[in-house]
Every structure is written in C-alpha cells, then in structure tokens.
Amino acid sequence: MSEPLHETHLVVNGVPHTVAVPARRLLSDCLRHDLGLTGTHVGCEHGVCGACTVLVDGRPMRSCLLFAVGMDGAEITTVEGCRSAGGGLGPVQQAFQDCHGLQCGFCTPGFVTTITAYLGEHPDPTEEQARQAIGGNLCRCTGYQNIVASVLRAAEILREPEGSGEPQGGAPVSSP
Amino acid sequence: MKPAAFEYHRPATVAEALAVLAEVGHDGKVLAGGQSLVPLLNMRLAAPRHLVDVNWLAELDEVAVDHDAVRVGAIARHARVEHDPGAAEAVPLLRQAIEDIAHTTVRNRGTVVGSLVHADPAAELPAVLVLLGGSVELASAGNGPRRVAAADFFVGPLESALRPGELATAAVFPRPPAGSGGAWVELARRHGDYAVCGAGVLVRLDQGLRVASARAALISVGPVPVPVDLTDALGGQPHDAADWAAAGRLAAAAVDPDDDIHATAAYRRHLAGVLTARAARSAAAAAAAKLEASA
C-alpha cells in the first residue's frame, strides 16, 4: 500500500522548497532524505539528545518531534544555514573551532543551532547561563567544558564590531 | 524508529476538528505540540490511525489574563506562557513550574493544555492545576462544552477524563486568593529531566502574617498529582518561623510512591517531605513579601 503524499512548502535556510511527503515523515528525515541536508543529525529520535535541533521560525525545536507536513509554510534554519554571510564558518562554528568544542562532531549541529538562537536573545551570557542554555543537548565526547567555552567565545565573536574581519584563531576561553 | 503510518487531518476550525474527532473516535488522536506524543509514535508505543493536527487553529492560540484566572488555549506553547508577564503576575506558580519542564527547545513547541491531557504523573502542570483548583474545558461535536475540575480530570497515569471525540480547548488556572504565595520545587537527576519528586505549595497568610491555610500538590509519587492539606501543620504560625518539617511529614505520610529504576519508594517519600517543607517556606515568604509590598 502506498501512502498518500502531502505537498508541503518549506523555506530552508532561505531557499523555498516544495516536497511531497507521507504524513509520518519527520522533519529531520525530510531535511536529510528529501532535501539532502545531512547536516542535521538524528541521534535518539525521541527528543532527548538534541542532535536534530533546528530553528523553526527562529526558535530551536527538535526536528525529530515534528512532522514535515505540519511545518507547511515554516522557515527552517539548519546547521547549514548557520554559516557566515561570506560562506565561511559562522560565529558559533568558529567558536567551536577556536575552543576545540567538538570531538566526533555528531552532536555539534544541534549545539550550533541551539546556541545560535540562544545568543540572538542573550548576547552576553554568564558561564552558568551558557551551561543552562545547552542543557538540552547531549555530547558523549567532550565533557562539555569546551562547549561552554565555545558559547562564551561565540558571544564574544558576535560582539566584535562589524567588519573586524574574518574570525581569527583566538585562544580558547579558559575552562575550569 | 519511525512512526507507523496514519491519516493526517488538518482542520481549519474548531468545529471542523470536532467533526473529524467525532468521526474517527477511538482511532483518532489530537496532535498539538507533540513533545510527548511524537516520542510515543516514534517508538511505536502508540499507533493511532488518525492524527488531528490542531496547530492551525488560531482561535485556540490564546493566553488571556483577567480578574479571576489565566486562561490558556490549546495551542499556546509553554514558552509563550512562561514569558507572558500578565500570566506570571497573576499566577507566579505557572512560570516557576514551566521553567522546570524539559528544555527551551521542548518548551518552544510543547503546549500547556497538551501536558495536562497527557497526564504524565511526573509532569508539573497537572499538579499546578490541582493546587490552584483549576479546570479544563472540553468540547465535542453535538454536545455542549463541558468543564472538568482538576480534581476529576486526572484519572490515572497518562489517563485524563477526556473522552474519545473530545478536544481540550483551554485550561483555566485561577488566581490564588489575596494574601497567597506559591512555590514550586523539584528534584531531577539532570536539569530538564523528569522529576524524581516535585512539590508545589500554596500558602495563604492572614493580615498578621500568620498562615491561614496551606496546601501542596506532589508529582512522581503517585499515579496522579497528590494533593495534601498542610493547614494542620502550619495554621496560625508565623510566616517566617512555622514548623516546615511538620508540613513535610504530612506530605511524606500522604504519598504512596513505587520503587523504580530511578529511585526507591523510600527515597521518593523522603523527597516528598523535604521538598514540601522547602516549598512551603518559600511560598510563605512570597506571600509575606506580596502582603508587605501592598501594605
């Protein structure tokens, strides 16, 4: 039995797409399989690990807990959309490189989207707030210290005056 | 895992939603935020044949604060209620409890009413609704709407008084009476996890800042939120020096938790006492601060 398909319009990283999906297609699978945007990673697929976090109309959500069909008309930002305007590393990605905020990298896309949204609303977090901001994302490699440092470093990069050039290497923010 | 196939319905009005729900009956399930339902679907612990997506019903997207209560429509997200200054002023307990629900990412999509209907014994909002004596508004095709009091709404673990074909359209969280203060405390192994135990307490003080009445509602220590009247332990005592431990003992005696992989029954009972005492003290302090500010 073939399932009925639902025509669904999504704007992903600024690009409009029309997909025909079965109702049960998760947004995470739609992004990866229908649109080929494999930056969004699927870890637990029941809303615990945070790896699949994307921004829906600017707000972070678990893409494994959303049906693509229900997102009709939404603007989605994935990790691919978190790069800089020039196409290089975005501020959060740069901060992860600066601070060695990733090891295997599987969880990183969910962190990048989550932190991008968080810093948009909280440009100058304390370390404690940074830790809380990433509380919904699991990382099994790093022990989190360098990810917390990356949040603070990303905030620093975002505060740098416009046009101060491409991000520099920069020393990692000290971690406890 | 992936959900089993289902038929997707996207009604444009509440009336249309009720018509679909009436037609599909037991085979249908309402999809609101989906932050509890979709994990169940993904793990195939649930496989309804019809999903009725109510996220498009703008008429249910409301947070209305009036003289008596905060009324939350069926698709108002946790995050919206959490950041609504009017709601926080009218019923401070709401924001306090919502801050303990999972993480921002989940609160951005999950709904207050959905959490009530899901009736998880570890969920915060059912206890808040019970503590405040609130209610849930239910609609169905062909019948008039009905309003079910919190005390009758939570029937068992993951079971509410909602009947097949019904849609919960709103929840009403009454303002606590003048002179009241509330507090929510819970203990979870990790921030954002389900609570091993949680306690909400509402304390009302008299003009002399003595406890006039006090009650608690506890989660994760029974099949539904457990209400406990604390007035016998605290009544007549000063707001800053009442016998909080006695209130805790009342709560610990009132609950009947089970052992599970997260905690023993004895530890949960212990927490019920400690957290109730802690919440009662904060609630009394909040009530006193409010009374002093308005004096």
Residue B295 belongs to a domain: no
Residue B76 belongs to a domain: yes
- pLDDT score at A106: 98
Same domain flag for B147 and B209: no
Question: Chain B contact for A120, CB < 8 A?
Answer: no
Q: Tokens 């678990």 map to which residue?
A: A62
Q: State which of B152, B174, B196 marks the end of a domain.
A: B174
Query: Which residues of chain A are within 8 Å of residue B8 when distances are taken between CB atoms?
Result: 6, 23, 67, 69
Please judge whether B38 and A67 are an interchain contact, meaning their C-beta atoms are less than 8 angstroms apart: yes
The per-residue DSSP string of B240-282 comes to: TS--HHHHHHHHHHH------SS--HHHHHHHHHHHHHHHHHH
- pLDDT score at A171: 41
B123 pLDDT more than 80:
yes
d(CA A29, CA A41): 9
B38 pLDDT more than 60:
yes
d(CA B267, CA B260): 11
Average pLDDT (B254-280) is: 97
Q: Look at strands A75-77 and A53-56 and give their pairing.
A: antiparallel
Please judge whether B34 and A66 are an interchain contact, meaning their C-beta atoms are less than 8 angstroms apart: yes
Residue B42 belongs to a domain: yes
Cβ neighbour number for residue B141 with a 10 Å cutoff: 16
Residue B125 belongs to a domain: yes
Which residues in B208-240 are b (16+ Cβ under 10 Å) and which e? ebebbbbbbbbbbbbebbbbbebbebbeebebe
Q: Which tokens belong to A59?
A: 């707000």
d(CA B278, CA B272): 10
Confidence of residue B212 (pLDDT cuts 50, 70, 90): very high
Domain containing residue B260: CATH number:
3.30.390.50
Chain A: give the shortest CA distance to residue B106, in Å.
6
Q: State which of B156, B174, B192 marks the end of a domain.
A: B174
Extents of the domains making up chain A: 5-82, 91-159
- pLDDT score at B226: 98
Nearest to B52 by CA among B99, B16, B97: B16
Q: Look at strands B69-73 and B167-174 and give their pairing.
A: antiparallel
The structural architecture, per CATH, of the domain A5-82 is Roll (3.10)
Cβ neighbour number for residue B120 with a 10 Å cutoff: 17
Segments in chain A forming alpha helices (H): 27-29, 91-99, 108-121, 127-133, 145-159
A35 close to A12: Cβ distance less than 8 angstroms: yes
Average pLDDT (A143-163) is: 92
Lowest mean pLDDT across A167-171, B114-118, B214-218: A167-171
Domain containing residue B78: CATH number:
3.30.465.10
- pLDDT score at A26: 98
A62 close to B109: Cβ distance less than 8 angstroms: yes
Please judge whether A136 and B105 are an interchain contact, meaning their C-beta atoms are less than 8 angstroms apart: yes
pLDDT in tens, A75-100: 999 999 999 989 999 999 999 999 99
Residue A34 is classified by DSSP as I
Backbone angles phi, psi at B244, to 5 degrees: -60, -40
Same domain flag for B120 and B27: no
Residue B2 belongs to a domain: no
Please judge whether A65 and B8 are an interchain contact, meaning their C-beta atoms are less than 8 angstroms apart: no
Q: Tokens 């949960």 map to which residue?
A: B268
Query: Which residues of chain A are within 8 Å of residue B10 when distances are taken between CB atoms?
Result: 69-70
Nearest to B278 by CA among B211, B219, B176, B198: B198
Nearest to A131 by CA among A110, A105, A150: A150
Chain B: give the shortest CA distance to residue A120, in Å.
14
Question: Chain B contact for A69, CB < 8 A?
Answer: yes
Please judge whether A24 and B35 are an interchain contact, meaning their C-beta atoms are less than 8 angstroms apart: no
Query: Which residues of chain A are within 8 Å of residue B102 when distances are taken between CB atoms?
Result: 136
Q: Which tokens belong to A174?
A: 């000290």
Please judge whether B1 and A29 are an interchain contact, meaning their C-beta atoms are less than 8 angstroms apart: no
Q: Which tokens belong to B213?
A: 């009445």
d(CA A48, CA A62): 9
Same domain flag for B92 and B130: yes
> How many structural domains are present in chain B?
3
d(CA B180, CA B199): 16
Interface pTM (ipTM) of the complex?
0.94
Backbone angles phi, psi at A16, to 5 degrees: -75, 140
d(CA B53, CA B237): 51
Q: Domain of B128? A: 58-174
pLDDT in tens, A17-59: 999 999 999 999 999 999 999 999 999 999 999 999 999 999 9
Lowest mean pLDDT across A171-175, B1-5, B109-113, B287-291: A171-175
d(CA B107, CA A47): 12
d(CA B68, CA B226): 24
Residue type (1 letter), B67: H
Residue B215 is classified by DSSP as E
CATH fold group of domain A91-159: DNA polymerase; domain 1 (1.10.150)
Residue type (1 letter), B163: R
The model's pTM is 0.94
Residue type (1 letter), B149: A
